[in-house]
Amino acid sequence: MRINNPGSISHIGLTWLVILLSVCKTSEQESAKNPVRTNDTLKTETGSPRHSLFAGAGYGSNMIYLGSTISQDRPYGYASLAYGFRGELYASYSTVHLSDVSPFLSFHIGSLTYNHVFNSWFDISAGLYRYQVPASLTDTLFSSFTYADLTLGFDWRLIYSKISAGGLFAGETQAYFQLRNSRYFKTPDFFKGRANISFDPYVDLLFGTLIESTTSTERMVMIPTPSRQWGRFWHSTSTTSYSKKQGLMEVDFGLPVAFNTDHMTIEAEPGYLLPVHADPDYPGSKGFIFQLSVFFRIF
């Protein structure tokens, strides 16, 4: 099972996710009773420990969340710490550094998630995420916000599907929906059964609130972001009118590849973003992005 980075959770599914919690999930695509490593989880033995602790760090070319770049198209680095209880309840804290941004720690992410595997084909997860930005950067980056989501996972054997519904709370509530299809597989174990390489290619569709700007000569489709809420557009003039609707915001493709051992995972994730809107002030990030992460199981 894999938790999105909501906006690509997109990845969501960014989401990323949040950044670290994806390391703590188990793969329903193998067995409900004997969870194994997915591309973004640590390899485990049968059953889950009562308590677990993970640490991680990584680098990315651009952080995309809910259809917009919250790193302002800058590269970023991060460090994370997560605590797990019985393999189902996780709390994490991450801090993010953006290139050429002061202070050094640009924003912080806290999260609480719960996941449960019912059987070999169905699982659920829920999450609460808080993105906290220093007051000095709210105009430059984005306003602090909270995001909550509920995800249903279905294993069709050949394809693993996730359907997510979430809401962003930052002065106004915005709803998001995500559909992800992926196919997890891994190599046979090597190094005396202590390591393997896993792959989890996916296609992700993100749906949310779109703002349509109409004039006598053109029509544009924009998206609200944590730093630019819908209320700021509720001012139609004699030449321009605004309306909002729910629609497709972004299509994401990715191929996470991970080297997994009992206590460490190194993951590289190349991806491609295809925004479905045209906003001259907040153009959607388009093209290839990349993230490299390393995670350690402390206990």
Q: Do the Cβ atoms of 28 and 117 come closer than 8 Å? A: yes
Beta-ladder partners of 115:
125
**Which of 75-84, 185-194, 218-227, 230-239 shows the lowest per-residue confidence on average (mean pLDDT)?**
230-239
Q: What is the pLDDT of residue 99?
A: 87
pLDDT at 105 over 60: yes
Q: What is the pLDDT of residue 113?
A: 92
pLDDT at 81 over 50: yes
Q: What is the pLDDT of residue 36?
A: 35
pLDDT at 8 over 60: no
Q: Which fold has domain 21-206+248-297?
A: Porin (2.40.160)
C-alpha–C-alpha distance, residues 204 and 2, integer Å: 13
Q: Encode pLDDT of 39-52 as tens digits.
A: 333 444 445 688 98
- Residues 81, 101, 275, 290, CA torsion sign: negative
Please state whether the predicted TM-score (pTM) of the whole model is above 0.95.
no
Q: Encode pLDDT of 254-275 as tens digits.
A: 999 999 998 899 999 999 998 8
Centre a 10 Å sphere on the Cβ of residue 119 and count the other Cβ atoms it contains.
10
Concatenated DSSP letters of 184-226: -EEPPPBTTTTEEEEE--EEEEEEEEEEEEE-SS-EEEE--BT
**Residue ranges covered by each domain of the chain:** 21-206+248-297
Q: What is the pLDDT of residue 218?
A: 59
Instruction: Report, as an integer, the average pLDDT of 66-88.
Output: 89
pLDDT at 34 over 50: no
Q: Do the Cβ atoms of 200 and 184 come closer than 8 Å? A: yes
Q: Encode pLDDT of 178-205 as tens digits.
A: 999 999 999 999 998 899 999 999 999 9
Q: Encode pLDDT of 143-177 as tens digits.
A: 899 999 999 999 998 999 999 999 988 767 788 99
C-alpha–C-alpha distance, residues 120 and 123, integer Å: 8
Q: What is the pLDDT of residue 67?
A: 77
Q: What torsion, rounded to 10 degrees, do the Cα atoms 231, 246, 253, 125 define?
A: 90
- Residues 111, 112, 117, 121, CA torsion sign: negative
Residue with tokens 């993970």: 54
Higher pLDDT, 253 or 143: 253
pLDDT at 20 over 90: no
**Long-range Cβ contacts of 103-111 (<8 Å, 24+ apart):** 103/134, 103/136, 103/137, 106/76, 106/133, 106/134, 106/137, 106/141, 107/131, 107/132, 107/133, 107/134, 107/137, 107/141, 108/132, 109/18, 109/19, 111/18, 111/20, 111/21
Q: Which of 105, 70, 112, 109 is nearest to 90 (CA)?
A: 112
Centre a 10 Å sphere on the Cβ of residue 132 and count the other Cβ atoms it contains.
12
Mean pLDDT, the chain, as a whole number?
78
Concatenated DSSP letters of 227-242: TB-GGGG----SS-EE
Q: What is the pLDDT of residue 246?
A: 79
- 50 residue type, one letter: R
